[in-house]
Structure 1
Amino acid sequence: MVRANATLTPKGRLLLAQRIFDNGWPIIRAAEHFNVSWPTAHRPSPTAHRQTVGGPLRSDGRRRNGPY
């Protein structure tokens, strides 16, 4: 569930990743544009970019290995 006023919704993360990877924006500039800190902008950008390039990632949070 995404909060209504959240800055980095899935769509926002996608836009952030596009600004950084496709448009070549520096992470600090993109962070200022989205009004988040640069570590916050740096964290979701590779994941969101992989989702756009290779399709959606599995994000259900379950373990993929183990005794279960």
Structure 2
Amino acid sequence: MGVPRLDSPDEEIKKWLNHIALICLSEEFHELKKELEQIYRQSEVENYTLAAFVDALYAFVAQEEYNRICQSGTL
């Protein structure tokens, strides 16, 4: 599932948001976020909880996109 454009139909955007919600509810996401929070807090990153959340979400989305590309044989 690629990232929707701003002019994407509402249904595509809803699918994307549901997909993100499922990622954010997963145990793997919470484990990575917690690990990043510890690292960022020790490194004195400003607003470390938000930074950890964003980076964990980006990591999951990027991994899924990479997997999708690999499966399509484009890479």
Bigger radius of gyration among the two: 2
TM over 0.5: same fold? no
Taking structure 1 as the reference length, the TM-score comes to: 0.30
Taking structure 2 as the reference length, the TM-score comes to: 0.28
More helix by percentage:
2
